A and B are shown apart, each in its own frame.
Chain A
Amino acid sequence: MSERRLEAVDLHLWRGDRHVLRGLEFSLGGSECLQVTGSNGSGKTSLLRTLCGLMWPEQGRVLWGGSDIRRDMPAFHTDLAYIGHEPPLKADLTPRENLLYWAGIRRRLTGDEANDALSRVGAAAWGDRPVRTLSAGQKRRVALAGLMLLAAPLWLLDEPTTNLDAEGQQLVSSLIREQLARGGLVVAAVHHELTLAGSALRRLELAGG
C-alpha cells in the first residue's frame, strides 16, 4: 500500500486582491487529522477548496501520495470526499435517493448499504421524505451518511458540526475517529476544537486575510 500523505507546499492563493494563503505548508499522514481554525474570512474554505483541486493556487503545489494532484485529478478525486458549507443534496429527492446518486456515481452501491448508512446517522426514520422537508441538522446528518458511503481515504470537511446538536457532534467525532482508525486522513475546518481524545490531532491556525 502506497503511503497516504497529503502535503501542501508553499501555497499562495489570491482571491481578487486579497492574499489569502501565504506560503502555507503542511504534511499530513495516515491516521492523522488536521484541524484548521481561523476567523471568518481567514481562508479556511479557500484552503479546503484548493486542497480539493477546485481552486488552483497561484504558487505552490498540493501533493497526494507524493505526486502533484494536477497530474491526475480524477484519480485524486476518487480518493477524496469533500463536504462544503451546505450539504450537497437535491431538495426534491429523498435522502435515500440523494445517497444512491451521490455515492453511486463514484462507486458501486447497494440499497442496503445506503440504508445502513442512514441508520448509522439516525436518519432511517425520515429517509424517504424529500430533503426539502428536513431541518438543517437533519440535512447535515444525511451529508455525513454520504461521507461514509463515499469510502474515501481523504476527508475534507468544512465546518462539519454546523447545525448539529450535541449528539450530532458526537457522531461527527466518532466518524472521524473511525476514519483515522482505518488509516484515513481528515482535514476539517472548524470554529471549535474537535473532541478526538487520544487521536493524532494536528492544528493549523490561519491568520486573517
Chain B
Amino acid sequence: MTFKQWFHRLGSPPHVYAFAERLTPWFAWSAALLIAYGAFAGLVLAPPDYQQGEDYRIIYVHAPTAWMSLMVYSTMAVAAAIGLIWRMKIAHAAAASCAPIGASFTLVALVTGSLWGQRMWGTYWEWDPRLTSELILFFLYLGYMGLRSAMDDMQRADRASAVLAVVGIVNVPIIHYSVTWWNSLHQAPSVMQLARPTMPASMLVPLLIMLLGFTLLFAALLLVRLRAEILTRERSASWIREAVSP
C-alpha cells in the first residue's frame, strides 16, 4: 500500500472504525496486565521510602495520571490541529474522544495528589505549583468540553474547539511557568518530590510500568470512544448498518 493510500485510509471513517475495533482488545489487555503487575510491584514489592514510609506509594497512581493528563491534552491539541489544517473529520473525532479521558486523568491526579498531600502536610489542599497547574489544566479541559457542547453544529464545534485546544497547548507551558514563579515567591510548603533521580530501581521500575500501562489504557479508551464518535457522526452513512449488525 502506498503512503497516499495509507493516508487516505487514515481519514476514512469505515476503515478507522474497523481498525479501532481490531486493536482495542490488544491495548486493553496489555494495559490491564501492565497496570496489574505495576500495581503489585509498586504496592507490595517496592521497599518503603525512608522519609514517607508507605505513604509514598500513591505515586504509582498519581504520577502516571498526572503525566497522562498532560500527554492527552497534547494529543488532543495535535489531533485538533490536524483536523483544522487538513480538514480531516476523523482527527476532530479523535480530539473529541480525548477530552473526557484526559479530564478524568486530571481529576484522578488531583484527588490522589490531594490525598497524598493530606498524609504529607496534614491538609487536603495546598497551592503547590504541581497541583495548581493540574487544577488549571482541569479547567482547560472543562472549557474545551463546554465549548463543544455549546455548539449545535458539529462542524463548528469541531473547528472552534480545535482553535481552543491549540491556544490551550501554547498556554500550558506559560501557565506552568507562571505558577511555578508565583509559588517560589512566597515560601510555600514543600513541593512534592516526584522527580527523584536517586530513586532506586525497585521503586522506579514499577513506576515506569504503570506509566506504560496507563498509556496503553488511554489508547484503549481512545479507540473505544473514537468508535462511538464515528458512529454518531456517520449515523446516516450506509456503511454503518453493516458495521454494527451482529
Contacts and interface: CB of A to CB of B under 8 A. Distances in A.
Interface of A: 16-17, 56
B154 A16 contact: yes
Nearest to B235: A17
Contacts of B153: 16
B68 to A, nearest CB: 34
B154 to A, nearest CB: 7
Contacts of A56: 87
A56 B158 CA distance: 15
B87 A17 contact: no
4 contacts: A16-B153, A16-B154, A17-B236, A56-B87
Counting from the closest, the 4 A-B pairs by CB-CB distance are A17-B236, A16-B153, A16-B154, A56-B87
Nearest to B236: A17
Contacts of A17: 236
B12 to A, nearest CB: 14
A16 B87 CA distance: 16
Interface in B113-171: 153-154
B159 to A, nearest CB: 10
Nearest to A56: B87
Contacts of B236: 17
A37 B124 CA distance: 67
A75 B196 CA distance: 57
A16 B153 CA distance: 6
A80 B133 CA distance: 48
Interface in B221-246: 236
Nearest to B89: A58
Interface in B152-196: 153-154
B83 to A, nearest CB: 13
Contacts of A16: 153-154
A17 B234 CA distance: 9
Nearest to A16: B153
Interface in B10-41: none
A133 B87 CA distance: 44
A75 B208 CA distance: 54
A101 to B, nearest CB: 28
A56 B86 CA distance: 12
A56 B153 CA distance: 15
Contacts of B154: 16
A56 B87 CA distance: 10
B193 to A, nearest CB: 51
B47 to A, nearest CB: 59
Nearest to A14: B155
B162 to A, nearest CB: 14
A56 B236 CA distance: 21
A16 B154 CA distance: 7
A93 B74 CA distance: 46
Contacts of B87: 56
A55 B33 CA distance: 48
Nearest to B154: A16
A2 to B, nearest CB: 29
A97 B136 CA distance: 45
A41 to B, nearest CB: 16
Nearest to A17: B236
B85 to A, nearest CB: 13
A54 to B, nearest CB: 13
Interface in B73-120: 87
B131 to A, nearest CB: 42
A46 to B, nearest CB: 13
A42 B181 CA distance: 58
A31 to B, nearest CB: 35
A16 to B, nearest CB: 6
B231 to A, nearest CB: 14
Interface string B26-62: 0000000000000000000000000000000000000
B235 to A, nearest CB: 8
Nearest to A58: B87
B24 to A, nearest CB: 28
